[in-house]
Structure 1
Amino acid sequence: MSNGWETRQQRTRSEILAAVGDIIATEGVDGLTMRKLAERANVAVATLYNQFDDRNGVLVAFVSHGLDELELSLDEQPASDPVDGTRVLLSALDDTIGSADHVWRPVLATIGASPGSQRMGAVGDRIIATIEIDLAKARAAGMFFVECDTDRLARHVFVQWMRGLERWAHGTIDWATHRANAELGLELALAAVLVEPHRTDALRRAGILG
């Protein structure tokens, strides 16, 4: 019985989040209200408040849902080597955002400007945790020349990437600049701790070496 209820709840949540994307795509974030979302998803307004605290909670859930789908997609691909996993993750996140930038740009701008926002909150923590696991594998494989704090390094990598996204979302840089800066920042952070030949590879990816 409970499994059936949980399945219906999950289906309803997915339909709500799909409706979020539809509304933002046509009317922007300003067009997203709880009442309009309830009408579009064919649910009661009370149902929305049972699942999300407010409109910002809806937006964070929308981002989290996108991460869920990305993780499922990555799980279907062959496992990446340590460090490459982080490269693949951040590149895939950018690909996802860039493929529907008319939706993601206003969402990220709104989340970043929200009071108490800490770079996507629990969603950001999930990304950091995934990066940290990958970096810990690299450390265990002897790819780092120092016994570095992989959690702190993972947070640095994420924050640098997120800052670039926020600048793009607010229109201070274009998408190509964000992508170039994101790759440069990641590879320089990795080069600071990697042993050879991985360090040289990171510097070459950063465009510093010929």
Structure 2
Amino acid sequence: MAVKRGPYASDLQRQRRSQILLNTRELLESEGIEGISMARIAKMSSVSTKTLYNIFVNREGLLLQAAANRLDELVASASIQLATPGIPRLLAITELAMMPFRDNPDFMKTVVAIVIAANENTPGAGERVGRVQMLAYDALVVARENDELKSGVDLQELSLIIAANQWGVALMWQQNMISLEQLIRQTNLNHVITLIPFCIGGRKQWLEKRMEMLHPAITPVSNQPIRLLS
């Protein structure tokens, strides 16, 4: 009995999918959302429109995966993989993720608009929109294993707060409510401020020193417990 293969199981299929996402992202960078159609991407990628729909379900699913593909590349980069696992790697990802905002702000405004617009009916939305939360949760798991967190911290809720803060600041920038420099500074600073009350020992001291470098005028965070302790 033949075994049914999963979607894009072969190297050739994975390469084709990567090329489709690359073509889509290049159009997003050069023309914005308006320049994207399934027929155009299919022609550029030398596949049928039916194949494109089979892979990504609809235009929204394709746009979301193309927009989020950049973050996946950053996470897989050598500099991130060399960073210390846990909270240091999470902050390193955040810093590196800010580079595209500085290098190509128009494209990143498009990316934020696509991700924010995704809903539960958009293919891949659960994974992609929650990518930052998953990265934060994984970092917190490592921090707990290393005894860097206070006892009883709810990792799920704390990771949600970290992700919400990041997307909230990005949305404010996308809506022209804050400047690019404010976006970069606040995104890096938010993670540190959020994490300090829940960390202990050397990791807390490390975060406090980092906060002083990012914003010397901020008063050290209180040791009073916050409602994320179960």
Query: TM-score, structure 2 length as denominator?
Result: 0.78
Q: Taking structure 1 as reference, are residues 7 and 138 closer, same or farther at Cα in structure 2, changes over 3 Å only?
A: same
**AA in 2 matched with 1:176:** E
Q: Within 1, Cα distance between the matches of 2:54 and 2:79?
A: 31
**Cα distance in structure 1, aligned partners of 2:64 and 2:53:** 14
Encode CA deviations 1:125-155: one digit per residue, 9 max, x unaligned.
3332222122122223222234311221111
What stretches of structure 1 of length at least 5 have no aligned partner? none
Instruction: Specify which structure has the higher proportion of helix.
Output: 1
- 1:131 matched to 2:118? The reply is no
**Unaligned 5+ runs, structure 2:** 221-230
Give the direction of change, closer, same or farther, for the CA distance of 1:114–1:61 in structure 2 (3 Å limit): closer
Matched, 1:41 2:45: yes
Task: Note if contact 2:192-2:211 (Cα within 8 Å) is conserved in structure 1.
Answer: yes
Q: Once the two structures are superposed, what CA deviation does each residue of 1:59-114 show, in whole Å capped at 9, x if it has no partner?
A: 11113422332222147742415321111111122224443333232132133134
Q: 2:208 aligns with which of 200, 206, 210?
A: 200
Question: Could you say which residue in structure 1 is the equivalent of 2:155?
Answer: 150
Calculate percent identity across the aligned residue pairs.
Answer: 20
Q: Using the alignment, how far apart are the partners of 1:173 and 1:129 within structure 2?
A: 26
Output the aligned Cα RMSD: 2.8
Shift of 1:202: 4.6
> Displacement of 1:16 after TM fit?
0.9
Aligned length, in residue pairs? 209
Q: 1:117 to 1:106 in 2, by over 3 A?
A: farther
Q: Do the aligned residues in 1 keep the contact of 2:173 with 2:183 (CA within 8 Å)?
A: yes
Distance 1:154 1:115, change over 3 A: closer
Look up the match of 1:60.
64
Q: Which residue of 2 aligns with 1:161?
A: 166
